[in-house]
Amino acid sequence: MIRRGSRTTAQKGHPFGRRPSGGVADVLWDWSKSGTRHAARSRLIRRLPGVGSAAAYRFGLVERPHYAYGVRRATELAARLGHRGVTVVEFGVAGGNGLLALAEHARHYAAATGVAVRVVGFDGGAGMPAARDPRDLPYLFGPGFYVMDQDRLRARLGAAELVIGDIAETLPDYLDTRADLLRAHPVGFVGLDLDYYSSTTTALGLFRAPAHEHVLPRVTCYLDDLPGTIEQIGEAAAVADFNAAHPGRPIGRVLGLRAFTPFDPPWADQMYVHHRLDHPDYARLEVGATGDQLPLDR
């Protein structure tokens, strides 16, 4: 996601320094880089007369379009498989802007598909914990970054659930105590934004858990913290380790997604899918019994 002014180092996306502070340089800045250009263009098109919410969703012009994409994939797959509910998760909530956007997209796609969408955010609440591994990018993130104002966020959460505590404790507890809810609303989308290799490794415990009925056979994932890192540290390393340990449950980048997503958005490079090859529903057709046909053009 594009967070103006929130990153301070070249490695995390400011190779030419921070955003200028006004005037033509400011506008030029927005249009010079694909990430900021995409967000600025979406804001602009949304303001055009006649561009309503349906068009904004169809063309990915909403806030945090990567979350909208994830919720759409989750609800569509759930509907195809005959589920009446699905759960979407944000790991790493901080102030809560992402969780509120996720909740808004959940309302939209619940109305569009008839699938009930539960929204759950996991966060420590007190800012980043201390790094536990050199691959946590300890040169970028320190303990106490991103403290949450819990009262303020809870006042705006609506039906979304906020689970506070270190996910090493809260996630296993949640999977245990909410087993029935998850069975009725299996997880279909996960936004990973915990910054650390170690925390991401813990969050991927969701996919290690033995109960198939708690997750859809394919779970769309968004990895927020890939840009500017390398494959051997951070989120990328956590995914690589998971894949090495669980060859039957790979997590891989969606190949070619940019090419068939409106406006060629940079976030498409950060969309992954967890394929649970041993899930009993894995081979059920998503496309309907007749599927696609490719007759001769002439």
Ligand X SMILES: C[S@@+](CC[C@H](N)C(=O)[O-])C[C@H]1O[C@@H](n2cnc3c(N)ncnc32)[C@H](O)[C@@H]1O
Instruction: Supply 102's token pair.
Output: 């996720």
Beta strand 271-275 with 161-164: parallel, antiparallel or unpaired?
A: unpaired
- Report yes or no: 249 and 205 within 8 Å, Cβ to Cβ: no
In the complex, what is the shortest distance from the CB of residue 248 to ligand X, in angstroms, rounded to a whole number? 26
- Closer CB to ligand X, residue 104 or residue 195? 195
Residues near ligand X, by CB under 6 A? 1, 90, 92-95, 97-98, 123-124, 127-129, 146, 166-167, 193-196, 199, 202
If one counts every other C-beta atom within 10 angstroms of the C-beta of residue 142, the result is 11
CA dihedral 239, 221, 94, 152 (to 10 degrees): -160
Residue 52 or 142 having the CB closest to ligand X: 142
Cα separation of 274 and 189, whole Å? Answer: 9
Q: Which helix (H) or strand (E) holds 27?
A: helix 23-32
Q: State in angstroms the smallest separation of the CB of 47 from ligand X.
A: 23
CB of 94 to ligand X, least distance (A): 4
Q: Closer to ligand X at the Cβ: 65 or 98?
A: 98
Cβ at position 7, least distance to ligand X in Å: 10
Specify the residue, 169 or 286, whose C-beta has the smaller distance to ligand X. 169
- Give the nearer residue to ligand X in terms of CB position, either 88 or 167: 167
Q: Which helix (H) or strand (E) holds 78?
A: helix 65-80
Task: Report in angstroms how near the CB of residue 271 gets to ligand X at its nearest.
Answer: 16
Decide whether 121 or 188 has the Cβ nearer to ligand X: 121
Q: What per-residue string of b and e applies to 68-103 under the rule 16 or more CB within 10 Å gives b?
A: bbbbbbbbbbbbbbebebbbbbbbbbbebebbbbbb
Separation between Cα atoms, residue 263 and residue 62, nearest integer Å:
13
Of 229, 227, 223, 222, nearest in space to 137 by CA? 229
* Look-up of token digits 């055009």: 48
Residue 106 Cβ vs ligand X, minimum distance, rounded to whole Å: 15
Closer to ligand X at the Cβ: 36 or 213?
A: 36
* 3-state SS, residue 112: helix
Minimum distance between the CB of residue 193 and ligand X, rounded to whole angstroms? 4
